[in-house]
């Protein structure tokens, strides 16, 4: 859903001018919006009709915004709530979060900021709906996403995208560093597709000797080469009707690339040493940690094959770009390895978790998995401590300085300015990359640059 797709919005504000201004703006933007002058009226409306989003003024006669939001969430937990306040204190923010607010906006309301807030809410609703559709598809095929452990919005969006493309016949290229879980995503896509009942065959192209890989993939006839004492069925036939996952496709020899390209064009192949043309209804999902476009430029990967396997590209983010997933992953691995090793470890200390959060994880989820397994095995008590972690200060990033601020708005402003300046510095003032690093749209970044008067250095 785009920023212009319609949302059902309720604006709750006792100031008529402010309320009508927001309602008119939202209607002109293509949304369905109505106003309520107080909390009691808002609760009546929520009981009688559906809203995607409720914008609630914090300070009103009678019930305040936090109290109204709590009642709204009690009626329908699916409604997103946003607090409108000119009284932004840390205590207010904490209360809002406990009551289920997803965001807040300050008075006087800036219409551009309101538009961006509505866009974020719309995108969030779209992700929720796509996630439900994916869950239903997986349940139908008795497939679980349980092995993909995440909390971050980046991973949620990626899983939703995987669900959207699963039912297509298009070839998919999974891009990501080593240890990010590319095969797990390939299995998820297979499980959400109409091929879920057919075989899923995984092949690591970099682990098979160059002289054998053509035979492994396409099979061979008896006597095709020395040692071929009988006919062998290859992975393309084994995966018939299902999915063939070609991990590290960049490692394929050029000769095998030609044969794979021919298959993708004609959906037919021949066994090594054979003349018979064999048709195979198999879906190809490829994966690589390499920059295939660079391999195309240096002549080690065919350009025409690159375009064939890159019809739909999904990039799995490294763990350092989704640090909010670290704790939930660590807890999962503790539970798993404690059970496997009959260990009494049940947790990780706060200090040790802080070290993990600050670590960059060049080996991604696989490295975190190994670190937690080691910690579970060698821990003396029920908690993994810093002493059980295999790295020291040389593996950590600098801890950010504390922000001193009296109000929530001052704290947020100071933190945002520092984070934006750091992102611009780290990306050479490239606004596109800085926005991606901050998890913002370019439009939102430009708005904040203008708001804070930040100029490129």
Reported as a single tens digit per residue, the pLDDT across 111-169 is: 888 888 888 888 777 777 766 666 666 556 555 454 688 888 888 888 888 888 888 88
Phi, psi dihedral angles at 203 (to 5 degrees): -130, 125
**Length of the chain counted residue by residue:** 457
The pLDDT value recorded for residue 132 is: 66
The reply to whether 153-315 shares the fold of 8-109 is: yes
Q: What is the dihedral of CA 78, 84, 89, 90, to 10 degrees?
A: 20
Specify the higher pLDDT residue, 256 or 95: 256
At residue 2 the predicted structure's pLDDT band, cuts being 50, 70 and 90, is very low
Q: Which fold has domain 408-452?
A: Arc Repressor Mutant, subunit A (1.10.10)
The pLDDT value recorded for residue 390 is: 82
Specify the higher pLDDT residue, 213 or 407: 213
User: Contact, 260 vs 282, CB < 8 A?
Assistant: no
Spatial CB neighbours of 341, under 8 Å, sequence gap ≥ 6: 376, 377
> CATH: 3.40.605.10, 1.10.220.10, 1.10.8.60, 3.40.190.10. Which one for 320-395?
1.10.8.60
What are the pLDDT digits (tens) for 210-250?
Answer: 888 988 999 888 877 777 778 888 999 999 999 999 999 99
| Average pLDDT estimate for 345-364 | 90
| Average pLDDT estimate for 414-440 | 80
> CATH: 3.30.230.70, 3.40.50.2300, 3.40.50.300, 3.30.1490.20. Which one for 8-109?
3.40.50.2300
**How many whole angstroms from its chain centre is CA 65?**
32
Range from 26-35, 248-257, 410-419 carrying the lowest mean pLDDT: 410-419
| Cα separation, 76 vs 133, whole angstroms | 20
User: Contact, 353 vs 389, CB < 8 A?
Assistant: no
Q: Hey, is 335 helix, strand or coil?
A: helix
What are the pLDDT digits (tens) for 89-111?
Answer: 656 666 666 667 888 887 788 88
Spatial CB neighbours of 33, under 8 Å, sequence gap ≥ 6: 8, 9, 10, 11, 22, 23, 26, 27
* Rama region for 395: left / alpha / beta (φ>0; ψ in -120 to 50; rest): alpha
Range from 57-71, 180-194, 253-267, 440-454 carrying the lowest mean pLDDT: 440-454
| Cα separation, 344 vs 332, whole angstroms | 15
User: Contact, 200 vs 245, CB < 8 A?
Assistant: yes
Q: If you average pLDDT over every residue of the chain, what do you get? A: 84
Q: Which helix (H) or strand (E) holds 112?
A: helix 111-140
| Cα separation, 78 vs 430, whole angstroms | 37
Q: Hey, is 315 helix, strand or coil?
A: strand
CATH 3.40.50.970 fits 153-315, yes or no: no
| Average pLDDT estimate for 70-88 | 83
Closest CA to 418 of 440, 402, 441: 402
3-state helix, strand, coil in the chain (%, to 5): 50, 15, 35
Q: Give the residue extent of every domain in the chain.
A: 8-109, 153-315, 320-395, 408-452
Closest CA to 456 of 413, 421, 417, 432: 421
At residue 407 the predicted structure's pLDDT band, cuts being 50, 70 and 90, is low
The pLDDT value recorded for residue 387 is: 86
């Amino acid at each position: 859903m785009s920023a212009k797709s319609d949302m059902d919005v309720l604006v709750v504000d006792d100031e008529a001018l402010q309320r009508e201004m927001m309602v008119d703006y939202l209607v002109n933007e293509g949304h369905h919006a109505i106003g309520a002058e107080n909390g009691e009226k808002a609760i009546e409306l929520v009981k009688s009709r559906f809203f995607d989003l409720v914008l609630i003024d914090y300070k009103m006669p009678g019930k305040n915004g936090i109290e109204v939001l709590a009642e709204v969430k009690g009626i329908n937990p699916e409604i997103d709530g946003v607090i409108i306040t000119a009284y932004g204190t840390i205590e207010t923010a904490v209360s809002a979060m406990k009551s289920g607010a997803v965001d807040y906006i300050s008075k006087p309301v800036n219409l551009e900021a309101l538009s961006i807030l509505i866009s974020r809410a719309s995108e969030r609703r779209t992700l929720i709906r796509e996630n439900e559709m994916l869950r239903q598809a997986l349940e139908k095929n008795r497939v679980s996403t349980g092995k993909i452990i995440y909390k971050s919005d980046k991973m949620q969006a990626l899983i939703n995208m995987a669900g959207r493309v699963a039912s297509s016949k298009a070839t998919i290229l999974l891009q990501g560093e080593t240890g990010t879980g590319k095969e797990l995503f390939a299995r998820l896509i297979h499980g959400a597709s109409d091929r879920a009942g057919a075989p899923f065959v995984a092949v690591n192209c970099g682990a098979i000797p160059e002289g054998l890989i053509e035979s492994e993939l396409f099979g061979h006839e008896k006597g095709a080469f020395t040692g071929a004492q009988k006919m062998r069925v290859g992975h393309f036939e084994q995966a018939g009707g299902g999915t063939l996952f070609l991990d590290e496709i960049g490692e394929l020899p050029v000769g095998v690339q030609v044969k794979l390209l021919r298959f993708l064009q004609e959906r037919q192949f021949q066994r090594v040493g054979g003349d018979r043309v064999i048709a195979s209804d198999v879906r190809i999902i490829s994966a690589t940690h390499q920059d295939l476009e660079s391999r195309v430029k240096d002549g080690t990967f065919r350009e025409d094959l690159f375009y064939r396997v890159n019809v739909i590209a999904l990039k799995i983010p490294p763990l350092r770009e989704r640090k909010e997933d670290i704790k939930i992953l660590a807890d999962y691995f503790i539970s798993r390895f404690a059970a496997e090793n009959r260990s009494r470890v049940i947790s990780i200390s706060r200090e040790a978790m802080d070290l993990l959060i600050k670590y960059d994880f060049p080996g991604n989820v696989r490295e975190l998995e190994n670190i937690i397994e080691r910690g579970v095995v060698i821990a003396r008590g029920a908690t993994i401590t810093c002493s059980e972690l295999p790295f020291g200060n040389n593996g950590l990033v600098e801890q950010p300085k504390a922000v001193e601020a009296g109000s929530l708005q001052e704290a947020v402003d100071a933190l945002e300015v520092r984070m934006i300046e750091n992102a611009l510095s780290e990306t050479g003032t490239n606004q596109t990359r800085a926005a991606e690093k901050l998890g913002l749209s370019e439009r939102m970044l430009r708005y904040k640059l203008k708001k804070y008067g930040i100029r490129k250095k």
